[in-house]
Chains A and B, each alone.
Chain A
Amino acid sequence: MSDILSKLSDCIEFGKINLASPFPPQMKEQEGADELTAKALAQGINPQDVLTQGLMPGMERVGVKFRENKVFVPQVLMSAKAMGTAMLHLKPHFLSGAAKQKGTFIIGTVLGDLHDIGKNLVAMMVEGSGYKVIDLGTDVDAAKFIAALRENPGAVVGLSALLTTTMVNMEKITQEIKQALPDTLVTIGGAPVNNDFCNKIGADNYSSDPQGVVEFLNTKVA
């Protein structure tokens, strides 16, 4: 793998956004995800390779460290921010069809629930793994999910709920989606949710962390 792509992976893993960014201290005054992505593209490296060999391995390494409690929300958010900066350079290439995404993932926090930290992490990790992500935000009802699905046939839906009181809405939304578009895969998550609940409401997958959703998508979609 080219040197620049492995440097880019490190930037994503450690949340190094750009040259000016003071974080992480050990990478101070080095180029960040921003500069390196631009450089890689300028050198003529295929945008697809920048994504799959540069950004994605970095994101996967943070995902694993997060799962193992080696890093926490702030570090992952820095990685995600670095990823987001890099993606700004890649987006035009994806739109022009020069690079291909693995599939589409629609995510939202369910009706009545405003927690979005976990959902955002999932969205960023999934995006960082090469999927197109449509984030519907928080407090999302079934109609919005279904409308987004109609616009993006075959997309997988992710529902997040953090409150025991909104788990009921998760159940309703899952059922309405399955009724309207029976072939849709629904994956769920959030602190109070578990596998039993997933089976009970007829969702297709439960993951306790973003890495899990990525693994699920990779087996079902990619």
Chain B
Amino acid sequence: MRRALAFLAPLALGSSALAAEPTVALTNDNVVIQALRARSAVPCAALADQPDLAAELYAIAEADVAPAWVSLRAASCLAERFSTDGRFVGWVSPWFTDDERGGLGLAALTSSLANPATRSVIEPLARQAPLRWRDLYARRLDAADAAP
């Protein structure tokens, strides 16, 4: 089997009223996408300082970018670096209500566990997520609480 399929799904933003349309136009040579494609994890702090990196990370998280971990990393970095941005809650809330974006929710939740302020924003969302994801989120929260 060879990987040659272009899965050209449009940007599906779900039906949540909280969903915000990404405002950053992305191209395949976007430097943040390139950095996030690396097989070894790139520290979020090492990402290039774009004029509006938060919006760029949000756009990447929402976009259909291959490989799949690029969007997850973008979601994770968004939560790690920009949880105090005024747009943050509006951006991430749909990830915890839309079953098709629950992986982004898990990435943001995991990233938030190192920062109590961010966790306090995200945990209530995670506790109400669709059932398919809620168990995963709960396990992640329980593991964090059990860690020494």
Q: Do A and B bind each other?
A: no
Chain B residues packing against A (C-beta within 8 Å): none
Where the two chains meet, the residues of A that have a C-beta atom closer than 8 Å to any C-beta of B are none
